[in-house]
Amino acid sequence: MTRSATDEAAAPQLPSPKERRRLREAKSLSEEQVAAAVGVTRATVRSWETGRTSPRGRKRALYAKLIAPEPEALTTTAPTAVTAVADPPAPATPVKPATPSAPATPSAPPAPEPIPETAGAAAPEAIPVAAPELKAVVAKAPARATVVVAADSGTGTGTEAADERPSSPAEAFDELYTRTAPGLVRQTYLLTGRRALARESVERAFQLAWHRWPEVAVDRDPAGWVRAAAYEYAMSPWQRLRRAHRHPDAPPTEPGKQALFDALLELPPAYRRTLLLYDGVGLDLPETAAETEASTPAAAGRLMTARAAVVERLPELAAVDSPAEQSALLHDRLGGLARAEHVPVPRPARAVRTGSEDRARMWTRAAIAGVALLIAVTGLTLHTAPTHYEQPISPAERVGGVPPRGGPQKLTAQDLKLQKSLREQLAHGPERLIPQLR
């Protein structure tokens, strides 16, 4: 018992499910390769990366060592990815000392720093495609700045965030809501083309986040968690059944923005979401694939198809030859379209938290009322139900073919007179012949 407790305490810590997939793709490892190395099936590896299950014991140690973010593990497990991206990490080395310049001198904080750069740099080699333009599109992922579309509410630096850390869950939620809600409403508007639906989706996503705040607070990217929830609600097929959201809002009056607006809405939902996440929000390709629940090659194919469809409608984008410049220009056009439209401002954070609590309270009371009603109906049924079986009485029917009733016929008047005389007068004769009345 002591040994098992010691082994459980010494078990290696694993990153979040989304980070596991990202590290695996950064090393150019497929699900089959990881499954073969650990000794499990491909479905088990997929469940580990989606968060449904988690490895244990020896398999946990092997899996943690296989996706370890240390540079040594990266060079041993994926040498091709490291050699292929020997040039991109060069500008990242002088930036390194900027992050550990804080008082955090231990070796633990600097270790995770190489993860995004190495993961983002190795991502292009993890895509088994032969098209050179696709590799050129993906190769610029490490240099992209994760700028949210229309993020007019600036975020503080790391030291300011550390000094002004919220002291309560409500304050942390309010800070996240104030910082990300306006830009997220504009993103959702570009995704759906409906202002009211964009605001409703963002508020519903934050209500769900407050309802699950213990889970969201420890997530690696709380803003990404809320963004995924808002996108899922906004793109739900059930929204088409609502009369208010059946048709998109009026497009912008400016011709260029109107063409971009129409081009976005003509894309399939999955392609539109991929384009918005990559060229609008600024996520890299593995993060975009993870958020859209697709493989990295599939996300790359959707991105290229969606970008080609948008470029056909916008002549200024078609005139740009470089994929990096084309992506930057498209990013600016999406941001300009989102900022130009009068998107409704979401409600205050306190109102959203109160709405989430009221909604949870309402559903709790409804569940309690439903259980109480079910118990009452069951008790009434048991009280009024019969305790024995009563055979039902069949309905009356006319029966034919029955013979007439037999027996003596009705006596006539003469027969009745004779009967009376026999009863009143005694017959003369032997004793045994006298009839006896009984």
* Dihedral sign, Cα of residue 14, residue 16, residue 21, residue 23: negative
Stretch 15-42: mean pLDDT, rounded? 85
Q: What local confidence, expressed as pLDDT, does residue 110 receive?
A: 40
Torsion region of 282: left, alpha or beta (phi above 0 gives left; psi -120 to 50 gives alpha): left
Residues 203, 226: contact at Cβ < 8 Å? Answer: no
416 vs 252, more confident: 416
**CB atoms < 10 A from the CB of 292, how many?**
20
**CB atoms < 10 A from the CB of 100, how many?**
14
pTM (2 decimals)?
Answer: 0.53
Amino acid of residue 324: A
Q: What local confidence, expressed as pLDDT, does residue 62 receive?
A: 87
Q: What local confidence, expressed as pLDDT, does residue 429 receive?
A: 59
Stretch 179-198: mean pLDDT, rounded? 89
243 vs 358, more confident: 358
Residues 250, 194: contact at Cβ < 8 Å? Answer: no
Question: In this model, does residue 414 exceed pLDDT 80?
Answer: yes
How far apart are alpha carbons 435 and 366 in whole angstroms?
92
Stretch 286-304: mean pLDDT, rounded? 89
Question: In this model, does residue 92 exceed pLDDT 70?
Answer: no
Name the CA radius of gyration of the chain, rounded.
41
Least confidently predicted of 17-21, 123-127, 259-263, 354-358: 123-127
Determine whether 202 is exposed, middle or buried from the number of CB atoms within 10 Å of its CB (0-12, 13-18, 19+). buried
Tokens 């045994």 belong to residue: 432
What band does 380 get if pLDDT is binned at 50, 70 and 90? very high
Residues 124, 138: contact at Cβ < 8 Å? Answer: yes
DSSP states along 95-112: TGGGTTTSS--SSTTTTT
Structure tokens at 196: 């009211």
How far apart are alpha carbons 111 and 410 in whole angstroms?
122
Stretch 352-371: mean pLDDT, rounded? 91
Q: In the chain, what is the straight-line distance between the N-terminal and C-terminal CA atoms, in Å?
A: 104
How far apart are alpha carbons 59 and 212 in whole angstroms?
30
- Residues of the chain with pLDDT > 70, as a percent, come to 72
Per-residue model confidence as pLDDT tens digits over 169-184: 888 998 999 888 988 9
DSSP states along 34-76: HHHHHTS-HHHHHHHHHTS----HHHHHHHHHHT--SHHHHHH
Question: In this model, does residue 379 exceed pLDDT 90?
Answer: yes
Residues 383, 377: contact at Cβ < 8 Å? Answer: no
Determine whether 188 is exposed, middle or buried from the number of CB atoms within 10 Å of its CB (0-12, 13-18, 19+). buried
Domain parsing of the chain, residue ranges: 1-87+114-124, 166-349
Strands (E), 264-315: none
Tokens 């998109």 belong to residue: 248
How far apart are alpha carbons 231 and 149 in whole angstroms?
14
Q: What is the DSSP letter of 144?
A: -
116 vs 210, more confident: 210
Q: What local confidence, expressed as pLDDT, does residue 424 receive?
A: 80
| Cα dist from 133 to 138, 166, 319, whole Å | 9, 45, 16
- Residues of the chain with pLDDT > 90, as a percent, come to 13
Q: What is the DSSP letter of 219?
A: S
Q: What local confidence, expressed as pLDDT, does residue 362 receive?
A: 93
Question: In this model, does residue 113 exceed pLDDT 50?
Answer: no
Top mean pLDDT of 27-41, 75-89, 135-149 is at 27-41
Averaged confidence pLDDT in the chain: 74
Stretch 6-31: mean pLDDT, rounded? 76
Residues 297, 128: contact at Cβ < 8 Å? Answer: yes
Q: What is the DSSP letter of 10?
A: T
Q: What is the DSSP letter of 279?
A: I
CATH topology of domain 1-87+114-124: 434 Repressor (Amino-terminal Domain) (1.10.260)
How far apart are alpha carbons 303 and 306 in whole angstroms?
5
Which positions ≥6 away from 384 have C-beta within 8 Å? none
Q: What local confidence, expressed as pLDDT, does residue 437 receive?
A: 61
Question: In this model, does residue 75 exceed pLDDT 50?
Answer: no
Residues 190, 257: contact at Cβ < 8 Å? Answer: no
Question: In this model, does residue 292 exceed pLDDT 60?
Answer: yes
Q: What local confidence, expressed as pLDDT, does residue 82 receive?
A: 31
Residues 205, 233: contact at Cβ < 8 Å? Answer: yes
87 vs 408, more confident: 408
Q: What is the DSSP letter of 145?
A: -
Task: Tell me the backbone φ, ψ of residue 150, rounded to 5 degrees.
Answer: 55, 40
Nearest to 20 by CA among 302, 228, 278, 220: 220
Q: What local confidence, expressed as pLDDT, does residue 164 receive?
A: 57
What band does 283 get if pLDDT is binned at 50, 70 and 90? confident
What band does 331 get if pLDDT is binned at 50, 70 and 90? confident
Helices 323-340 and 255-266 cross at an angle (nearest 10°) of: 100
Nearest to 114 by CA among 139, 95, 138, 87: 95
